[in-house]
Amino acid sequence: MKFNIYDFSSFTSSFDQLLMENFSPFWAVAIEMVLIGIAILAFYAIVGLYLVYAERKICAFMQCRVGPNRVGPYGFFQTIADLIKLLMKELIPIKNADKLLFNIAPFIVIIASFMAIAAIPFAKGLHAVDFNIGIFYIMAVSSIGVVGILIAGWSSNNKYSLIGAMRSGAQIVSYELSVGLSLVTIVILAGSLQLSTIVEGQRDGWFIFTGHIPAIIAFLVFLVAATAETNRGPFDLAEAESELTAGFHTEYSGIKFAFFFLAEYMNMFIVASIAATIFLGGWMPFHVGGWEAFNHIMDFIPPFLWYIGKTAFVIFIMMWFKWTFPRLRIDQLLTLEWKYLLPINLVNILIMAFVVLTGWHF
């Protein structure tokens, strides 16, 4: 089996061939699905845990303190210890809560983010499912998460949870518009909804540079809207600790709370990946169209590392937002979306269409 770090498609196709030779086509596909499922599950869990660790360390350094540093070298195993603690906690059943909905809600949130990971390209050829409507699929699937939040707030039988869930529902539904429209701007530039085509199209330069002004505006709008989508940063009043004591997940304990917590960090990872893929080139190294020697040097760094670096950069910016800014009130948040971001987006789409038609891009 050939394992080329620069092009995983050789590995995946040779593995596929191996399976096809030894098993019937049905079983080969079934085994592949199970293996991919396990790989994504493991990836999800590990990345989720270590994002929590990264957040705690980054926020500690911004606040002039050290963060976790006892459990393991530099506190590396802190989240594993937290996970074990959460797994062993008592699941407190709520009187008069709607039991079915109460139990389903965390799973819905996890499933939504899980499905979105399947469509993201991690490196050349390392792509679980390459839909021809990739971006549309990701948008559609991440909208399922809001159902989980609303169900959690409603079934908790608690006024505070309900207020938190309603606020969150309004917020997420509003900001999906902005996220979608800013992605549409790049779709116009790329000419396709398929994620691998979009990444390939950035071979001569990332879209944020080739698309100059409209792409930069779209990137900024996407950053703000994605932070709001994932209930993070200055838009986290759904779980504002100082107001509603944890909002929609107040009544959850133990592993169910861990699910909400994990889903929030994975959502952040997903939107950062989408930003990295669509605006910053995904796994494509930093090329400048025409500078062949420079591009060859850039190609030495494996695409997987480029992808991780870009996603980490966007995640760092999102964490920076959270620990610096105060929170917006719900009506200010919705005003921001409907009165400012939406018109900016619409005008930006027109500008981008104009730029593409006249060819005034790099």
- Report the Cα–Cα distance between both ends of the chain, in Å, rounded: 40
Binding-residue total with another protein (CB under 8 A):
27
Binder among 4, 14, 22, 324 for another protein (CB under 8 A):
324
CB of 184 to another protein, least distance (A): 28
Cα–Cα distance measured from residue 110 to residue 262, given in angstroms and rounded to the nearest whole number: 8
- Of residues 134 through 163, those in contact with another protein by CB under 8 A are 159-160, 163
Phi/psi region, residue 329 (left: phi>0; alpha: psi -120 to 50; beta: rest), is: beta
The answer to the question of residue 6 lying near another protein (CB under 8 A) is no
CB of 304 to another protein, least distance (A): 33
Shorter beta-carbon distance to another protein: residue 27 or 325: 325
CB of 319 to another protein, least distance (A): 12
Write out the two tokens for 59.
């926020």
Shorter beta-carbon distance to another protein: residue 25 or 326: 326
The answer to the question of residue 95 lying near another protein (CB under 8 A) is no
Q: Which helix H or strand E contains 123, and what residues bound it?
A: strand 121-123
Cα–Cα distance measured from residue 322 to residue 251, given in angstroms and rounded to the nearest whole number: 24
Binder among 26, 88, 96, 331 for another protein (CB under 8 A):
331
Binder among 197, 304, 323, 353 for another protein (CB under 8 A):
323
Helices 8-22 & 25-62, crossing angle to 10 degrees? 150
CB of 175 to another protein, least distance (A): 16
Shorter beta-carbon distance to another protein: residue 208 or 225: 225
Neighbours of 244 (CB within 10 A): 20
The answer to the question of residue 236 lying near another protein (CB under 8 A) is yes
Q: HSE of 79 in the Cβ direction (CA atoms, 13 Å)? A: 18
Shorter beta-carbon distance to another protein: residue 201 or 234: 234
Q: How far is CA 35 from CA 20, 38, 39, 338, in A?
A: 15, 5, 6, 43
The answer to the question of residue 245 lying near another protein (CB under 8 A) is yes
Shorter beta-carbon distance to another protein: residue 106 or 229: 229
The answer to the question of residue 243 lying near another protein (CB under 8 A) is yes
Cα–Cα distance measured from residue 268 to residue 203, given in angstroms and rounded to the nearest whole number: 26
Shorter beta-carbon distance to another protein: residue 115 or 333: 333
CA dihedral over 169, 129, 215, 180, signed as positive or negative: negative
- Of residues 160 through 179, those in contact with another protein by CB under 8 A are 160, 163
Cα–Cα distance measured from residue 72 to residue 164, given in angstroms and rounded to the nearest whole number: 36
- Of residues 54 through 73, those in contact with another protein by CB under 8 A are 59, 62-65
The answer to the question of residue 339 lying near another protein (CB under 8 A) is no
Cα–Cα distance measured from residue 50 to residue 77, given in angstroms and rounded to the nearest whole number: 9
Shorter beta-carbon distance to another protein: residue 276 or 333: 333
Question: Can you tell me whether residue 304 is helix, strand or coil?
Answer: helix
| DSSP 8-class letter at 106 | H
The answer to the question of residue 88 lying near another protein (CB under 8 A) is no
Kindly provide the b/e burial profile for residues 85-109, where b requires at least 16 CB atoms within 10 angstroms of the residue's own CB.
ebeeeeeeebeebeeebbebbbebb
Question: Can you tell me whether residue 7 is helix, strand or coil?
Answer: coil
CB 92 within 8 A of CB 249: no
The answer to the question of residue 313 lying near another protein (CB under 8 A) is no
Stretch that binds another protein, among 207-215, 230-238, 249-257, 283-291 (CB under 8 A): 230-238
Stretch that binds another protein, among 102-110, 229-237, 306-314, 339-347 (CB under 8 A): 229-237
Shorter beta-carbon distance to another protein: residue 27 or 61: 61
Shorter beta-carbon distance to another protein: residue 209 or 235: 235
List residues binding another protein (CB under 8 A): 59, 62-65, 159-160, 163, 234, 236-237, 240-245, 323-332
